[in-house]
Structure 1
């Protein structure tokens, strides 16, 4: 079922949002200082291409310990990301959600876009895992 939903997701805006994340990731990698943000953008971009069956969870909760991206530096990185790219990606998700919600078949995809709009502003410190793996660790 996840495979079919992922294919339909591409039609309902997933491809465009995935490409948007990849574009931001490339722009971040061009500026050497932006590599941590670029890595987060690529992780979420891959999630945009194949979202059903996978979730984003906190790396600290997943690994059971904090790291550089889950502490105060990660918080500062998320603030910078929010200003530079996060707000724009969240707006893109909200526009996509509105367009998907116009049709009945698009409502589940609109809900998915809204979930991503809430995650887009703060991707640093997250890891993408399967739902089964997240459930096994009590994270989903």
Structure 2
């Protein structure tokens, strides 16, 4: 089912979303100081191509740099990307087939708002936190 949803997603919106993220990533990488934003944009672009079967988790090694970068990203690009995802989700939700696509679009909003300090992983490989102590 994931493969079918990913193919439908790619045809009806994922390709254009990914191209937008890739263009933003190239622009960010041209400006030397914004390379971390470019790398984040490329990660989101790949996620936008094939979102079903993937999830977003927090990186345990992220620190204050990610927080500061996310605030800058939120002001400069995050809000506009989130608005684009909401508008696209509303357009996709008009049809019954588009409802899962709209949900996937809404699922991408948190990472489009604050991409630094996040990691995109397969659903089956989501890390679990364990609090077991050696005996």
Q: Same fold per TM (> 0.5)?
A: yes
Aligned to 1:101: 93
Alpha-carbon offset, residue 138 of structure 1? 2.3
Distance in 1 separating the partners of 2:12 and 2:84: 13
Structure 1 segments (4+ residues) deviating >4 Å: none
Aligned counterparts of 1:91 and 1:15: Cα–Cα separation in 2: 18
Q: How many residues align?
A: 129
- The residue number in structure 2 matching 1:59 is 59
Alignment of structure 1 residues 1-140 onto 2, 5 Å: 1-60=1-60, 66=61, 70-134=62-126, 137-138=127-128
Structure 2 regions of 5+ residues with no counterpart?
130-135
RMSD: 1.2
Tell me, yes or no, if the aligned pair for 1:81 and 1:122 is still in contact at 8 Å.
yes
Distance 2:68 2:42 in 1: 19
**CA distance in 2 between partners of 1:97 and 1:17 (Å):** 12
TM-score by length of 2: 0.90
Q: Deviations over 1:40-71 (max 9, x none)?
A: 110110000011111121111xxxxx2xxx21
Name which one, 1 or 2, has greater alpha-carbon Rg: 2
Counterpart Cα distance in 2 of 1:71 and 1:23: 27
Instruction: Please give the alpha-carbon distance, in whole angstroms, between the structure 2 residues aligned to 1:16 and 1:87.
Output: 18
Extract unaligned runs of 5+ from structure 1: 61-65
Residue aligning to 1:63: none
TM-score (norm 1): 0.87
